C-alpha cells in the first residue's frame, strides 16, 4: 500500500477537531501510521502534547479505541491490552485481527517510559511503539529530555553566559531498541511520506514487538514559522542529524543514502531555529559547540554505514 493514494482509501482514524499547534508534526505522522493498515487499531498514548490536544473532554479526534495513561506506562498498558486479546483468542471468545499501537513523546519514551518500553519489548508483545521525538518536554514547558541535542536551549538547559545550552548529547534510543533484538526497528520523519508509510506498513505486517522513532518538529519549542515543519524534518535528514534507516531481524538498511561528503553542514539546520540562536554568534565557544554536534552526527552515520556493510551485503 506504500503510496499516498492507497493510504487515502483507508478510513481515517484521526480526524480534525484536535487543538495541536498550526504546523505541528504529530498530526502528520498519525495520518502516516494509522493509514498504513486497514485492520482495526487500539491506540494507547502517554501524557503529552498529542494526548492533551486530541482528547479534550468531552471531545476526541480519534475514530478508534484510544486510551490515555500516565506518562511512564504507555508500553505497559498497551502490552496488557495485547495480552488480554491473546487470551480471548485462545479461549475462542474473539477472532478478529487487531493491531496495537503505543505512543509517547521523547520525554515519555527516552526518559520516563523507558523501563516499561524495555519490558514490553523484552516480553515480545505483538505491538508497535512509536515515539514522536521533538527533542524536549514540549507539553510541560520545553524542558530538556534525553533526546535534546547538545547545545540546545531549553527552559531547564538555558543558554546564557555560563552555559551555552544543554551540556550533554542526545541518547541514541533507536540503537538501544536494536539491542533488544526486535524483529523491526526504524527511524523516519514526517517530511518523507513514502519512507514513513513503507516502514509503518512493514512494521504492521510483522508479528511481534516493533519500534519506530519519528522525528516530529515542534513550532513553539524549536522556534520557526509554522509553514516550515516539513522543511525542518527534511533538513534534519539532509544534514544526517536524523538518518533514515531500518533494522529488520538485525539487518541494517539505510533508506536515505547520504554519505558525509554529500551531507549538508548541520549549521544550516541549526540557524533556522530560535533554540539554537545563541550558537550563531560566530565566537570560538559557539563554533566549538557546533563542531562537536557535527562530529557526533558524522560518527553516528559512519557507525550506520559500518553496520549496514556488516549485516546487509545486498545493500548498495
pLDDT score recorded for residue 6:
56
pLDDT score recorded for residue 5:
52
Exposed, middle or buried, 251 (CB in 10 Å: 0-12/13-18/19+)? middle
Q: pTM (2 decimals)?
A: 0.95
Exposed, middle or buried, 157 (CB in 10 Å: 0-12/13-18/19+)? buried
CATH number at residue 119: 3.40.50.970
Cα–Cα dist 121/106, whole Å? 17
pLDDT score recorded for residue 11:
86
Cα–Cα dist 202/3, whole Å? 13
Has residue 125 been placed in a domain?
Answer: yes
Cα–Cα dist 160/278, whole Å? 8
Has residue 209 been placed in a domain?
Answer: yes
Has residue 36 been placed in a domain?
Answer: yes
Has residue 316 been placed in a domain?
Answer: no
pLDDT tens readout for residues 188-212 = 999 999 999 999 999 999 999 999 9
Exposed, middle or buried, 35 (CB in 10 Å: 0-12/13-18/19+)? buried
Has residue 31 been placed in a domain?
Answer: yes
Task: Confirm if 270 and 276 have CB atoms less than 8 A apart.
Answer: yes
Provide the domain count of the chain.
1
Has residue 304 been placed in a domain?
Answer: yes
Question: Which range marks the domain in which residue 10 is found?
Answer: 4-311
Query: Which helix (DSSP H) or strand (DSSP E) does residue 216 occupy?
Result: none
* Alpha helices (runs of H) in 193-279, residue ranges in sequence order: 193-205, 219-222, 229-238, 266-270
Cα–Cα dist 302/316, whole Å? 15
Has residue 159 been placed in a domain?
Answer: yes
pLDDT score recorded for residue 315:
84
Within the chain, what is the greatest distance between any pair of CA atoms? 69
Has residue 302 been placed in a domain?
Answer: yes
Residues of the chain with pLDDT under 50: none
Amino acid at each position: 500500500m506504500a503510496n499516498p493514494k492507497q493510504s487515502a482509501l483507508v478510513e481515517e482514524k484521526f480526524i480534525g477537531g484536535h487543538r495541536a499547534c498550526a504546523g505541528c508534526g504529530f498530526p502528520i505522522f498519525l495520518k502516516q501510521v494509522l493509514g498504513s493498515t486497514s485492520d482495526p487499531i487500539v491506540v494507547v498514548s502517554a501524557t503529552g502534547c498529542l494526548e492533551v490536544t486530541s482528547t479534550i473532554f468531552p471531545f476526541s479526534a480519534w475514530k478508534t479505541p484510544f486510551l490515555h495513561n500516565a506518562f511512564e506506562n504507555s508500553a505497559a498498558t498497551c502490552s496488557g491490552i495485547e495480552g488480554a486479546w491473546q487470551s480471548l483468542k485462545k479461549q475462542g471468545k474473539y477472532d478478529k485481527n487487531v493491531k496495537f499501537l503505543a505512543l509517547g513523546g521523547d520525554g515519555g519514551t527516552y526518559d520516563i517510559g523507558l523501563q516499561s518500553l524495555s519490558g514490553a519489548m523484552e516480553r515480545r508483545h505483538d505491538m508497535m511503539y512509536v515515539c514522536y521525538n521533538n527533542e524536549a518536554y514540549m507539553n510541560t514547558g520545553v524542558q530538556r529530555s534525553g533526546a535534546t541535542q547538545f547545545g540546545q536551549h531549553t527552559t531547564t538547559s538555558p543558554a546564557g553566559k555560563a552555559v551555552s545550552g544543554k551540556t550533554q548529547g542526545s541518547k541514541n534510543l533507536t540503537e538501544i531498541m536494536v539491542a533488544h533484538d526486535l524483529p523491526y526497528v526504524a527511524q523516519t520523519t514526517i517530511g518523507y511520506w513514502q519512507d514513513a508509510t513503507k516502514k509503518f506498513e512493514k512494521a504492521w505486517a510483522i508479528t511481534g514487538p516493533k519500534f519506530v522513532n519519528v522525528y516530529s518538529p515542534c513550532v513553539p519549542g524549536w522556534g520557526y514559522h509554522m509553514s516550515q515543519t516539513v522543511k525542518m524534518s527534511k533538513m534534519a535528514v539532509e544534514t544526517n542529524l536524523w538518518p533514515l534507516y531500518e533494522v529488520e531481524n538485525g539487518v541494517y538498511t539505510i533508506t536515505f543514502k547520504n554519505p558525509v561528503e554529500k551531507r549538508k553542514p548541520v549549521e544550516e539546520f541549526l540557524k533556522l531555529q530560535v533554540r539554537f540562536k545563541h550558537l550563531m554568534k560566530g565566537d570560538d565557544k559557539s563554533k566549538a559547540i557546533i563542531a562537536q554536534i557535527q562530529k557526533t552526527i558524522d560518527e553516528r552515520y559512519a557507525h550506520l554505514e559500518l553496520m549496514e556493510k556488516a549485516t546487509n551485503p545486498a545493500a548498495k
